Structure 1
Amino acid sequence: MVTPSRIRLARERRALTMARLSALTGIPQQRLSDYENARTSPTGEALGRIAGALGFPAGFFTADEVEEVASEAVAFRARTRTSLRKQRAVRSQAALAVEFNDWLTERFSLPEPNVPTYGRPSPEDCAETVRALWELGDTAAPNTVHLLEAQGLRVFSLDSEHHEVDAFGFWRDSVPYVFLNTAKSGERGRFDCAHELGHLVMHGDERPLSGPEAEREANRFASAFLMPRADVVARMPSGAQVDQILKAKSIWRVSAMALTHRLHDLELLTDWQYRSTCRRLAEMGYRTAEPDGIARETSQILPKVFALLRSRGTTPSGVARELNIPLSELDSLMFGLSLTSHPGRGTAPGRRSERPVLRVVPAPR
């Protein structure tokens, strides 16, 4: 039996209109609409054409019902600048990531979520409270991807085709998810991590998840989380010059612009000094890039997962087959981790061993 929601999800994952899928398969649009809305079911021959056009194995379309990631559940950074088709494509990728996470939790003991939610505190107060809960002290945050994974967030990368989507996050069944664009600089990636954490902590049932004010609040949370007030005030002089900012940004591993914004927020730069510094940094190329940037932070959990799986004879291709997805879909979630399959023995039959416990080793600050 074909599952209609999976036809829609696969089509939206490929960012295809019904008309385009009709042209690729030779199946009339109305019939495709009937398939997606459960008014009729495709024949085996029609399903084969749909699967071939969408690049998914036929087994994907007969698996259990898949729960889509609702638009209102996702905090898109630039929702108004992201087309609906692109939003649906990345939400479909997120739905596949949720299925992959469910597959993982059946086989591994992952860190339990330790992410508080607050209804009304200010972004600065929220950031300080989370830092205290996670025992970060008043110094720079360590590797942010490792940190979020250690606190039970599921962190995945976005497909490289979605370059205009910075990042987004959502809650699903009390599990927090964050998706990151790996084409951004290392500094921008750290800020994106903290920004999405801010949405998860501050926004939900009581407060809007998206909109200009929610974005400003998430930005203020990220700034305070990555650059604690006490540490910045202790280290940075009032009226810091551009060369001092460029030297100091490595302390917190943030962009020069982000540190400049933080200094202004903390009243260590006047309005005039702030505008002048931003103008000078833009002239030096720091508005759109980080010429002397840090390496991009990536997952610690995912390489451990696939190392353990390989040790048991399970290849990445085998995982993809169990999930009924192309290997490329798995690869798109992996921060560039190579999933090239190596010859193996396959999954050994017999009883399943106890789930391995995966822990994240804190990175040096």
Structure 2
Amino acid sequence: MAVKFNPSRLKLARTRRQLTLKALADRVGMSSRMVSEHEKEYCKHIPQEETIEAFSQALNYPVSFFLEQDSIESVDKETVSFRSLKSMRAAQEHAAIGAGQLGVMLNDFFEARFNLPSVNVPDYRGIEPEASAEAVRQEWGIGYVSIGNMIHLLEKHGVRVFSLAENTQDVDAFSFWKDGVPYIFLNTMKSGERSRFDAAHELGHLVLHRHGVPQGRDAEYEADRFASALLMPKVTVLPYKGRAMTIESILKLKAKWKVSAMALIVQMKNVGVLSEWQYKNLIITASKMGLRTREIDGIPRERSLVFDKIVSSLDEEKGGLLILAKELHLPLDELSALLFRMGVVHSGNISIRKESQLNKKPHLTLVT
């Protein structure tokens, strides 16, 4: 017996699993052409229940996901900042955009049930990255102190920060604006220090390139300059000028700003703390120590407290993540991957006031 079926959800699930039409067709025992027909918006071939079940098993998505009639909003590729576009395969790019679509869906679900922090991300198009970073610090009331937690800061100002559990570093981070809401996605394979820099880099894109991200080296260089200035303000780095900087002192000092050794060396060069000779020697030494890809005495990776608290508030005793996955008709692995593989987090930084009635939105606040 034929049932209702959502073709766009089949395509999304396939791209998330990075399968070609042929690969999925081989798994379900049909032709590539027939799978393609099932993905078309006006599908003439409504699949039978056994066919949908075959799609479900092949893609590890629940049958109910394909039967939901609500459309999942598209994310325009032209609005997305990809840091490693040249090294990405098409399948990786499509899968990442699919993660973006799921993130938007999750945000819509959360916004309908919780009062999330309102968006407060300035538009500094046309302004130099360093000046923009300083302006963000002043507007957000940070001053020149070291940023304790980059993700918490972003969430406080309305940025929706999701994680990516893509099994590759070719997709390290990306961001975009959608319906006036800023989104950032961070790869969980990166070190804590590099993830913080990625978060600041993507904030740079949101601030500097709000109405479309110009792909290319110039845009990436601008976002890097913004991130460096945001995490390591010039005024806090300059006092070290004239000191004898060794790799040991760099490894000790990087904890002050919670950045990688390489990022600190580059910023010290950019603001005039290091001479060209000092810079080259430190880069050579750091490279020999493997500090381009790893950290010594690294920091824990940051994660979202907003999403942790939302999930734990749904049902602390029965497993909020499982309940959420069932309600959204999503596989648990996809949900966990987007929400920092979250568990119950106890913290005084974020609190949610629960209401006894479902039609009342709990208000989520950041407590300083």
TM-score by length of 2: 0.91
Q: Distance in 1 between matches of 2:314 and 2:214?
A: 37
Match of 1:256 in 2: 261
Q: Distance in 2 between matches of 1:300 and 1:208?
A: 28
Contact 1:27 1:46 in 2 (8 A): no
Q: Which runs of 5+ in 2 are unaligned?
A: 345-355
Report the secondary structure of 1:157's partner residue. Answer: strand
Match of 1:200 in 2: 206
Q: Does structure 1 residue 74 correspond to structure 2 residue 80?
A: yes
Of residues 278, 290, 294, the one that matches 2:295 is 290
Contact 2:7 2:43 in 1 (8 A): no
Report the secondary structure of 1:171's partner residue. Answer: strand
The one-letter code of the counterpart of 1:140 is S
Contact 1:331 1:338 in 2 (8 A): no
Q: Does structure 1 residue 88 correspond to structure 2 residue 94?
A: yes
Of residues 283, 298, 305, the one that matches 2:310 is 305
- In the TM superposition, residue 354 of structure 1 has moved relative to its aligned partner by 2.0
Q: Does structure 1 residue 124 correspond to structure 2 residue 127?
A: no
Q: Distance in 2 between matches of 1:30 and 1:356?
A: 47
Report the secondary structure of 1:332's partner residue. Answer: helix
Match of 1:140 in 2: 146
TM-score by length of 1: 0.91
Match of 1:217 in 2: 222
Match of 1:113 in 2: 119
- In the TM superposition, residue 200 of structure 1 has moved relative to its aligned partner by 0.6
Match of 1:27 in 2: 30
Alpha-carbon RMSD across the aligned residues, in angstroms, is 1.8
Of residues 3, 9, 15, the one that matches 1:6 is 9
Q: Does structure 1 residue 149 correspond to structure 2 residue 155?
A: yes
Higher RCO (CA < 8 A, seq sep 6+): 1
Of residues 332, 335, 338, the one that matches 1:327 is 332
Of residues 241, 248, 251, the one that matches 1:246 is 251
Q: Does structure 1 residue 180 correspond to structure 2 residue 186?
A: yes
The one-letter code of the counterpart of 2:12 is L
Flag the 1:263–1:314 CA change in 2: closer, same or farther, 3 A: closer
What is the CA deviation profile of residues 197-249 of structure 1, one whole-angstrom value per residue up to 9, with x for unaligned ones?
Answer: 001111133x6432111111100000000001111113454563322222211
Report the secondary structure of 1:358's partner residue. Answer: strand
Q: Distance in 1 between matches of 2:296 and 2:256?
A: 16
Q: Which runs of 5+ in 1 are unaligned?
A: 340-349
Flag the 1:152–1:252 CA change in 2: closer, same or farther, 3 A: same
Q: Distance in 1 between matches of 2:105 and 2:168?
A: 20
- In the TM superposition, residue 160 of structure 1 has moved relative to its aligned partner by 4.2
What is the CA deviation profile of residues 322-350 of structure 1, one whole-angstrom value per residue up to 9, with x for unaligned ones?
Answer: 111111111111223238xxxxxxxxxx9
Report the secondary structure of 1:221's partner residue. Answer: helix
Q: Distance in 1 between matches of 2:239 and 2:196?
A: 22
Report the secondary structure of 2:338's partner residue. Answer: coil
Q: Percent identity?
A: 41
Match of 2:103 in 1: 97
Match of 1:356 in 2: 362
Of residues 235, 238, 245, the one that matches 1:233 is 238
- In the TM superposition, residue 293 of structure 1 has moved relative to its aligned partner by 1.1
Q: Distance in 1 between matches of 2:59 and 2:66?
A: 11
The one-letter code of the counterpart of 1:24 is R
The one-letter code of the counterpart of 1:331 is S
- Count, aligned residues: 351
Of residues 168, 171, 174, the one that matches 1:168 is 174
- In the TM superposition, residue 60 of structure 1 has moved relative to its aligned partner by 1.2
The one-letter code of the counterpart of 2:119 is P
- In the TM superposition, residue 314 of structure 1 has moved relative to its aligned partner by 6.9
The one-letter code of the counterpart of 1:248 is L
Q: Distance in 2 between matches of 1:325 and 1:98?
A: 14
Q: Distance in 2 between matches of 1:155 and 1:214?
A: 21
Flag the 1:220–1:230 CA change in 2: closer, same or farther, 3 A: same
Q: Distance in 1 between matches of 2:10 and 2:115?
A: 32
Q: Distance in 1 between matches of 2:169 and 2:263?
A: 21
Contact 2:78 2:213 in 1 (8 A): no
Q: Distance in 2 between matches of 1:142 and 1:214?
A: 26
What is the CA deviation profile of residues 238-272 of structure 1, one whole-angstrom value per residue up to 9, with x for unaligned ones?
Answer: 56332222221111111111111011111121222
Contact 1:144 1:297 in 2 (8 A): yes
